[in-house]
A and B are shown apart, each in its own frame.
Chain A
Amino acid sequence: QVQLQQWGAGLLKPSETLSLTCAVYGGSFSGYYWSWIRQPPGKGLEWIGEVTHTGSTNYNPSLESRVTVSVDTSKRQFSLNLRSVTAADTALYYCARSYTNWGQGTLVTVSS
């Protein structure tokens, strides 16, 4: 049974960096896409990006200039950094394993 547990700061000021981490319990760490997805309040899902266990990444072109997704296989964790946040980045952020297993979500609010 794979479980993903995520954490990170829930309240940020504009221009700060959003940092979230997702820990993986159970299952293999290799051969999967470790991804981040977000959902603004009352809106749909938006793909942010993904990383493989080898560190290969893919990003949403609309966020690529501000986002980094990384993996630490020794800790069985992967992380999201989103720089220079604005109110438009306010959303529920999810981590996922190959879009099959999902974390519980972290609400991140950007407000001055």
Chain B
Amino acid sequence: QTVVTQEPSLTVSPGGTVTLTCASSTGAVTSGHYTNWFQQKPGQAPRSLIYSTSNKHSWTPARFSGSLLGGKAALTLSGVQPEDEAEYYCQLYYDGVLRVFGGGTKLTVL
């Protein structure tokens, strides 16, 4: 069974920088996993932030960026705002047939 692992929780100060990671039980995450990143706030549907590792939507704030880092996918928030407090999920794509979500990272801005 393929498992995608994220940090359960992270805390960052307003204005700070934080990196969330997404690891695969099958080995290094590559561009071929077409990593997606989602933000979910309480009572809301998930919102796509990053697609295919590092691509932003028109609505994605500039402070969010996606990359590959040390065999993992990464989501970096630079200049964190209070409204960035949320749950963040990554999703990996395997062999064109399987998608797996990570368990989510609860980001606290404190």
Nearest CB to that of A102 among chain B residues?
B45
Q: Mark B64-90, 1 if CB is under 8 A from A, else 0.
A: 000000000000000000000000010
CB of B91 within 8 Å of the partner chain: yes
Chain B contacts for A94, CB-based, 8 A: 45-46
Whether B98 and A58, one on each chain, are in contact in the complex, defined by CB atoms closer than 8 angstroms, is yes
CB of A47 within 8 Å of the partner chain: yes
Chain B contacts for A35, CB-based, 8 A: 99
**Cα–Cα distance between A101 and B48 once the two chains are bound (Å):** 8
Whether A47 and B91, one on each chain, are in contact in the complex, defined by CB atoms closer than 8 angstroms, is yes
**Cα–Cα distance between A94 and B47 once the two chains are bound (Å):** 12
**Cα–Cα distance between A37 and B45 once the two chains are bound (Å):** 11
**Cα–Cα distance between A50 and B99 once the two chains are bound (Å):** 9
CB of A45 within 8 Å of the partner chain: yes
Within A38-96, which residues are at the interface with B (CB < 8 Å)? 44-47, 50, 58, 60-62, 94
Min CB gap B49→A, angstroms: 10
CB of A21 within 8 Å of the partner chain: no
Within B43-68, which residues are at the interface with A (CB < 8 Å)? 45-48, 51, 57
Q: Mark B1-24, 1 if CB is under 8 A from A, else 0.
A: 100000000000000000000000
Q: Mark A92-106, 1 if CB is under 8 A from B, else 0.
A: 001000011111110
CB of B28 within 8 Å of the partner chain: no
Known contacts A94-B45, A100-B48; A44 and B98 CB within 8 A of each other: no
**Cα–Cα distance between A101 and B51 once the two chains are bound (Å):** 12
Chain B contacts for A104, CB-based, 8 A: 45
Whether A44 and B89, one on each chain, are in contact in the complex, defined by CB atoms closer than 8 angstroms, is yes
14 residue pairs bridging A and B, Cβ less than 8 Å apart:
A44-B102, A45-B46, A46-B101, A47-B99, A61-B1, A94-B45, A99-B36, A99-B48, A99-B51, A100-B48, A102-B46, A102-B47, A104-B45, A105-B45
Nearest first, the 10 closest Cβ-Cβ pairs linking A and B are A45-B101, A102-B45, A47-B99, A44-B104, A100-B48, A58-B97, A44-B103, A45-B89, A99-B36, A105-B45
